[in-house]
Copies of this chain bind each other. A is one copy, B any other.
Amino acid sequence: MTSQPIADLSADDLAALLEEQRKAYEELKGRGLKLDLTRGKPSAEQLDLSDELLTLPRGTRDASGTDVRNYGGLSGLQELREMFAELLWVEPEQVVAGGNSSLTMMRDCLVYLMLFGGVDSERPWNREEKVRFVCPVPGYDRHFTLLESLGIEMVTVPFNEDGPDVAAVKALVAEDASIKGMWVVPTYANPTGATTSQEVAAELAGMPTAAPDFKIFWDNAYALHHLTEEEAKSADILTLAAAAGHPHRPIMFASTSKITFAGAGVAFLAASTKTVAWYLDHLGKGSIGPDKINHLRHVQFFGSAQGVRDHMVRHRQIIAPKFEEVDRVLTERLGGLDIATWNKPQGGYFVNLDVLPGTASRVVELAREAGVALTPAGSSFPYKRDPENTNIRLAPTMPPLPEVTEAMEAVATCVLLAAAEKLAAEKA
């Protein structure tokens, strides 16, 4: 086994390596694996942490005395709004507590913008000739799917270590009024783990935009999802935007999907009070109010904002070893070979693996045939088109630790084989 850059190998050595990897891969296929690293789902062990929710709430009145079993209460339980306002660094009146999906809140906001326009729009977006969004890449596949489904075109910029590439964003939004918004996953971004710095956030909040109703969809899905004791703090985008004279620019989203139960948590939206009123006005046309029993359940389960933070430490204790294992296997198997780079995230749910350009889809194909499901290559890009065919998103939280090891060993074999195949073909 080599540990020098594969590209430096002689043709003979490369042929030998290829043969070696083919054998390793055949051996791998023989194992009949059935492993899945596709989606950022919490594991059963993580879900168990919240099982007390199954026998809550005690009583059916909220702090104001309202019977949470009945209709109403569109903006959500006040005490839950207060708890998450503290965690998201916003004011309670800027927060709406909703249903079980922040993705639904994002979709609803986009639909309202398309059909009705925002608080600062000249007209509904679907009456514009064209609507475009800036998408930092790699990013979250479902953000892109949402935009595509609504006919919103996507323009990419790099997602750097400190957030979206500000110069690239500014150049796009300054002149082109068809660019109506952008996505940002500010904390431990999906999939690179990058956290947007205070400085970048301030620039995004204050930059001149040709569109008067430019929106930042600030999806703070991993605000509290630290993997180390060094906890990143989200930039305070609402305050920054208000201070810069663009109070209605950001709409923040978050949820407890990766805090309590993935399918039965509570989602949050935070924005200027005027934007909150706009959202509730449209939402109210088709809602009887959120599930307030589930709100009360969460209030009682957490007890306080500190209760949420304490709960996240227990998640970290379960999943941090899995992320360490991903890094350990990749380092051991691929270190020094110059055919892959990956990050060691400080939070969030993903590892971003960049393999030899041109081989990502081959790696995913090889893994699939060996019984290891990976997110399809290109998923982290709009229209599923990774221009370099290099990016693979790994999600190690769901499988138990021994399966993470097994899956990553398999992935390493596939990365090696795909690289050897490519380089051998080039030298032939």
Chain A residues within 8 Å of B, Cβ to Cβ: 39, 41-42, 44, 47, 50-51, 54-57, 60, 67-73, 99-101, 103-104, 106-108, 111, 114-115, 126, 142, 145-146, 149-150, 257, 261-264, 282, 285-294
Q: How far is the CA of A291 from the CA of B267 in the complex (A)?
A: 12
Q: For chain A, what secondary structure do more than half of its interface residues adopt (helix, strand, loop), or is it mixed? A: loop
Give, as a whole number of angstroms, the nearest-CB distance from A68 to chain B: 7
For A107, the chain B residues whose CB sits under 8 A away are 285-287
Whether A42 and B70, one on each chain, are in contact in the complex, defined by CB atoms closer than 8 angstroms, is yes
For A111, the chain B residues whose CB sits under 8 A away are 111, 115
For A60, the chain B residues whose CB sits under 8 A away are 47, 51, 54
Given A68-B263, A68-B264, 6 new contacts (CB under 8 A):
A41-B71, A69-B261, A99-B291, A100-B290, A103-B286, A291-B291
Q: A47-B69, A111-B111, A292-B264 are in contact. Are A146 and B39 (CB under 8 A)?
A: no
Q: How far is the CA of A382 from the CA of B263 in the complex (A)?
A: 37
Whether B288 and A103, one on each chain, are in contact in the complex, defined by CB atoms closer than 8 angstroms, is yes
Whether B287 and A150, one on each chain, are in contact in the complex, defined by CB atoms closer than 8 angstroms, is no
Option from B47, B55, B294 in Cβ contact (under 8 Å) with A291:
B294
For A146, the chain B residues whose CB sits under 8 A away are 285-286
For A55, the chain B residues whose CB sits under 8 A away are 55
Option from B68, B108, B263 in Cβ contact (under 8 Å) with A71:
B263
Whether A257 and B288, one on each chain, are in contact in the complex, defined by CB atoms closer than 8 angstroms, is yes
Give, as a whole number of angstroms, the nearest-CB distance from A423 to chain B: 39
Option from B115, B262, B293 in Cβ contact (under 8 Å) with A288:
B262
For A294, the chain B residues whose CB sits under 8 A away are 264, 291, 294
Q: How far is the CA of A292 from the CA of B145 in the complex (A)?
A: 24
For A285, the chain B residues whose CB sits under 8 A away are 107, 142, 145-146, 149
For A261, the chain B residues whose CB sits under 8 A away are 69-70, 293
Option from B54, B57, B104 in Cβ contact (under 8 Å) with A287:
B104
Most chain B CB neighbours (cut-off 10 Å) among A41, A99, A257, A263? A263
Residue pairs across A and B with Cβ atoms less than 8 A apart, 18 shown, are: A41-B71, A47-B67, A50-B69, A54-B60, A69-B261, A70-B261, A71-B262, A100-B290, A100-B291, A101-B287, A101-B288, A103-B288, A146-B286, A149-B282, A149-B285, A263-B288, A263-B291, A264-B292
Which residue of chain B lies nearest to A70 when distances are taken between CB atoms in the complex?
Answer: B262
Give, as a whole number of angstroms, the nearest-CB distance from A162 to chain B: 29
Most chain B CB neighbours (cut-off 10 Å) among A51, A56, A70, A142? A70
Give, as a whole number of angstroms, the nearest-CB distance from A104 to chain B: 5
Q: How far is the CA of A39 from the CA of B70 in the complex (A)?
A: 11
Q: How far is the CA of A42 from the CA of B71 in the complex (A)?
A: 9
For A114, the chain B residues whose CB sits under 8 A away are 115
For A47, the chain B residues whose CB sits under 8 A away are 60, 67, 69-70
